[in-house]
Structure formats: C-alpha cells, structure tokens
C-alpha cells in the first residue's frame, strides 16, 4: 500500500462515516439562471405561477406514480403554450449544468475510500437523462432516484430504502442536501445530514465533511 493510500484508509477508519449520499440539484448541478428564468420565454410573467402548479402536479411522479409528460403537456396547453411539450422539457428540465467543483469533491471522496452515492427526487424522464447523458450511474457507487425507490424526500422511507440499497447502516451515511426539510427527513430516519448548497462555496462543504471526520481534501 502506498503512503497516500494508507493515509486515506486511516482517514476513513477514524470516522463513523463510511458513505456519503449527495443530492443533485443545488449540490452537484444547477439550472443556469434558475427555473423561473428558463420558463420566461414561454410564459413571461406567468412563469412562476406555472412552475408552482406543475411542481405540485409532479409530486406523485417523483415517487414513481404516473407519467409526467402528459400532465405537463396539459398544463402547458391550459396556460396557452403552443410549443410541443418535448421541446419545452428539453429546453428547461434537461438544461442542467454539472458543477466541476462538486465533481472534484466526489472524486476526492472516492480516492479517500468512501462510498459516494446519489440521492435525488426525480421523475422518470429527468432521472433517466441524469443516469445516461450526465453519466451519474458511472460516477456514483449507488444512485437512488426517488421515482425508482417509490418514495420521495423528505419522507424518511426514502433514506431507509437508500441505506438498504447502499448496503450500510444509516448511522454510517452522511447526507448532503440544499433543502432543510430533506435534512430533517434524513435525520428522522437515523442518517447523518448537513444542509449545504452551491452558493455557500465548496470550502464550506469540505468543512462540513471535516465536522464528521470525513476527509474531502
């Protein structure tokens, strides 16, 4: 074993955390300009109203119940949008930028011996795009998409099932998410959890890992 590898193994052994579970939106990836800006070309000042409506409609699909595209198409028609639903979906829902600094944190964690996993709320189409086009199935050890798990964050059941798929005790998994209610759900399930988002900077994320004895450098 090389000195660096030995040091990495010691870093893992010193912490109860063996695995890191990362949210996607706001942690690994972002939509340039945000959702409201992305929808404005189609809906103008009604973009916010539309998005809050369709996000509510989407909730069952996040847990794998139903097909989101026909629902989205119907709401677009209701709001007077004549652009085909597939074009709108591709331009907005698939307009994802993966943040290189976050990817580097993932790579460092893996080099240091941790299991690194994805835990995200997605309906089947966006989840499928992330799996294949963004290459997340190759980047992470285990990918937990809510539509596949059959339960969405913040339900504690999401984290219980994620732990089962990872094959780890929940107390050995550290979850990072940008939303407070998801942090609460993870902790209720028995998982370690910290709230963080891209606007805080990656040094803050590294410090949060260090708080739990996790080496992300």
Taking the C-alpha atoms of residue 145 and residue 118, their distance in angstroms, rounded to an integer, is 8
What are 108-151's pLDDT values in tens digits? 999 999 999 999 999 999 999 999 999 999 999 999 999 999 99
- What is the set of domains in the chain, with CATH numbers? 3-30+98-211 (3.40.50.1000), 35-92 (no CATH)
Taking the C-alpha atoms of residue 205 and residue 210, their distance in angstroms, rounded to an integer, is 9
Q: Is the pLDDT of residue 8 over 50?
A: no
C-alpha atoms less than 13 angstroms from C-alpha of 143 in its C-beta half-sphere: 18
Report the C-alpha dihedral over residues 95, 101, 105, 108, rounded to 10 degrees.
120
What are 202-212's pLDDT values in tens digits? 999 999 999 99
Q: pTM score, two decimals?
A: 0.92
pLDDT at res. 137 = 94
pLDDT at res. 123 = 99
pLDDT at res. 15 = 78
Calculate the alpha carbon distances from 43 to 78, 93, 107, 117 in Å.
Answer: 11, 15, 39, 36
What are 38-76's pLDDT values in tens digits? 999 999 999 999 999 999 999 999 999 999 999 999 999
Q: Is the pLDDT of residue 79 over 90?
A: yes
Q: State the helix-helix crossing angle for 35-43 and 47-62, rounded to 10 degrees.
A: 120
Q: 1-10, 69-78, 178-187, 189-198: lowest mean pLDDT where?
A: 1-10
């Amino acid at each position: 074993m090389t000195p660096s590898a030995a040091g990495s193994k010691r870093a893992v052994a010193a912490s109860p955390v063996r695995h890191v579970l990362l949210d996607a939106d706001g942690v690994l990836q972002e939509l340039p300009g945000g959702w409201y800006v992305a929808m404005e070309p189609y809906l103008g000042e009604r973009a916010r109203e539309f998005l809050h409506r369709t996000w509510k409609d989407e909730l069952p699909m996040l847990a794998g119940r139903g097909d989101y595209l026909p629902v989205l198409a119907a709401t677009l028609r209701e709001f007077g949008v004549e652009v085909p639903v597939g074009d709108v979906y591709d331009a907005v829902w698939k307009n994802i930028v993966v943040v290189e600094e976050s990817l580097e944190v993932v790579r460092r964690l893996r080099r240091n011996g941790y299991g690194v996993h994805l835990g995200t709320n997605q309906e089947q189409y966006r989840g499928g795009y992330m799996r294949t086009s963004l290459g997340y199935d190759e980047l992470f050890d285990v990918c937990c998409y809510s539509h596949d798990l059959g339960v969405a964050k913040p339900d504690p059941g999401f984290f219980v099932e994620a732990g089962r798929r990872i094959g780890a005790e929940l107390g050995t998994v550290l979850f990072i998410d940008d939303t407070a209610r998801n942090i609460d759900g993870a902790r209720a399930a028995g998982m370690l959890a910290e709230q963080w988002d891209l606007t805080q900077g990656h040094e803050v994320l590294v410090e949060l890992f260090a708080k739990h004895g996790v080496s992300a450098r």
